């Protein structure tokens, strides 16, 4: 499958937007660990914003950033949300309510508990009535999202936005599922090369024969291993390197995938 990247959005510890993160990911500037900062301006009405948790805020921020970078209209793009974890903080609160006498579950907590809560808030914020899906594939959720996004844009001929996110779980869930960082990434993908295209991705699934591609910086590598959405980091590093080193012709990235498979992505400049 061949698709074209038109825009990127990113939020993570020490990673504040695509423009600021590119030199860090390309190895031209040092990585400095810092708390996650969510940029303002998510388009949600205030009453809705008050009800949202961190995963919604992260996914809206990266999605809108990628679409702005691609100079696209969010209302026209199908959206694919990929997350291993959903909103652990919200689920923790529900589980505590259910373990107590009375079992009074808050209606807002309940409607926020669905895995597609970010998708629902996204469509409200962007007024997009386009299809939107929300999927999960444990540690390989970003890879599954990339596959779904590529097949959607190829099937429909429309550009799509892929939004992958995960947020750390609170204790005691964290002990059972130790996601290491809150991280979000978005890619606007299209099936055709246009003047918006930043890079070409040639994507294929094959039986596993290569180790997954790592990132050079040790702290970012720990984030990649510990956070499903951050499995995207080698791809983001390749995109950053391609835009800073004009002589580079291509990068090849291997992602671990499920059931003894790997995802093989060749990244070429446009």
Partner 1 sequence: MQPLRLSAFTLASPLGAGVPATLDALLKGRSGLQRCDFLDVDLDTYVGRVSGLEDLPVRADLAAYDCRNNRLAQLGLAQDNFTEAVAAARQRYGRERIGVFLGTSTSGILDTELAYRHRDPKTGALPESFNYAGSHSCYSVADFVQRVLDLAGPAMVVSTACSSSAKVFGSAARMIQAGLCDAAIVGGVDSLCLTTLYGFNSLGLVSSRPCRPFDTERDGISIGEAAGFVLLEKTSALMNSPLAVPDAVMLLGVGESSDAYHMSSPHPEGAGARLAIQAALQAAGLTPGDIDYINLHGTGTKANDAAEDKAVFSTFGGNTPCSSTKGATGHLLGAAGVTEAIISALCIQHGFMPGGLNTEHIDPTLKSAYLLKNKQQTLNFVLSNSLGFGGSNCSLVFGRMLKRAER
The residues near 112 (Cβ < 8 Å, ≥ 6 apart) are 51, 52, 53, 56, 87, 90
Distance CA 66, CA 89 (A): 26
Unique residue bearing structure tokens 């929300």:
134
Candidate residues 24, 54, 62, 137; the one interacting with partner 1 per rule CB under 8 A: 137
Considering the rule CB under 8 A, would residue 134 count as an interface residue with partner 1?
Answer: yes
Among 107, 157, 211, 246, binds partner 1 (CB under 8 A): 107
Question: Any contact of residue 147 with partner 1 (CB under 8 A)?
Answer: yes
Asked whether position 124 contacts partner 1 by CB under 8 A, the answer is yes
Q: Which is nearer to partner 1, 104 or 195 (CB)?
A: 104
- Does 89 bind partner 1 (CB under 8 A)? Our answer is no
Q: Which of 197, 261, 266, 268 binds partner 1 (CB under 8 A)?
A: 261
Number of Cβ within 10 Å of residue 54's Cβ equals 18
Single out the segment in contact with partner 1 by CB under 8 A; choices: 17-25, 150-158, 193-201, 235-243: 150-158
The distance of Cα 232 from the centroid of its chain, to the nearest Å, equals: 8
Q: Hey, which residues between 198 and 227 contact partner 1 (CB under 8 A)?
A: 205, 207
> At closest approach, how far in Å is the CB of 243 from partner 1?
28
What is d(CA 100, CA 225) in angstroms, rounded to the nearest whole number? 36
Strands 79-82 and 160-166: parallel
Q: How far, CA to CA in Å, does 120 sit from each of 31, 40, 172, 194, 207?
A: 34, 19, 28, 30, 35
Of the candidates 71, 255, 42, the one whose C-alpha atom is nearest the C-alpha of residue 161 is 71
Contact with partner 1 (CB under 8 A) among 30, 104, 157, 247 = 104
Alpha carbon 183 to its chain's center: 7
- Would you give the binding string for partner 1 spanning residues 2-41, x where CB under 8 A is met? ----------------------------------------
Alpha-carbon dihedral sign for residues 160, 16, 228, 111: negative
CB nearer to partner 1: give 99 or 211: 99
- What angle (nearest 5°) sits at the alpha carbon of residue 85, between those of residues 225 and 77? 100
By CB under 8 A, tell whether 262 contacts partner 1.
no
Of 36, 44, 66, 91, the one binding partner 1 by CB under 8 A? 91
Considering only 37, 38, 43, 105, the residue that binds partner 1 (CB under 8 A) is: 105
DSSP 3-state assignment of 254? strand
Which residues are at the interface with partner 1 (CB under 8 A)? Answer: 1, 51, 83-86, 91, 94-99, 103-107, 109-117, 119-121, 123-124, 126-138, 141, 144, 147-148, 150-152, 154-155, 171-173, 175-177, 205, 207, 257-261
């Amino acid at each position: 499958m061949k698709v074209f990247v038109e825009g990127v959005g990113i939020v993570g510890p020490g990673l504040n937007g695509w423009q600021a993160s590119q030199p860090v990911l390309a190895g031209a500037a040092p990585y400095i660990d810092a708390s996650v900062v969510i940029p303002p301006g998510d388009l949600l009405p205030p009453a809705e914003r008050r009800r949202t948790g961190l995963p919604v805020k992260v996914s809206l921020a990266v999605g809108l950033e990628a679409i702005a970078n691609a100079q696209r209209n969010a209302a026209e793009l199908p959206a694919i949300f990929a997350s291993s974890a959903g909103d652990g903080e919200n689920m923790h609160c529900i589980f505590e309510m259910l373990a107590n006498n009375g079992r009074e579950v808050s209606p807002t907590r309940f409607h926020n508990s669905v895995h597609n809560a970010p998708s629902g808030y996204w469509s409200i914020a962007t007024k997009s009535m386009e299809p939107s899906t929300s999927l999960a594939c444990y540690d390989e959720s970003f890879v599954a999202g990339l596959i779904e996004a590529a097949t959607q844009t190829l099937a429909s001929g429309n550009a799509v936005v892929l939004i992958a996110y995960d947020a750390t779980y609170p204790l005691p869930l964290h002990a059972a599922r130790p996601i290491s960082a809150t991280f979000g990434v978005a890619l606007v993908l299209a099936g055709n090369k246009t003047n918006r295209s930043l890079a070409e991705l040639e994507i294929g699934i094959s039986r596993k024969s290569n180790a997954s591609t790592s990132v050079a910086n040790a702290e970012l590598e720990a984030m990649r291993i510990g956070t499903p959405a951050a499995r995207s980091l080698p791809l983001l590093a390749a995109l950053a390197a391609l835009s800073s080193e004009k002589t580079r012709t291509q990068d090849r990235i291997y992602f671990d995938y499920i059931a003894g498979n790997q995802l093989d992505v060749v990244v070429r400049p446009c």
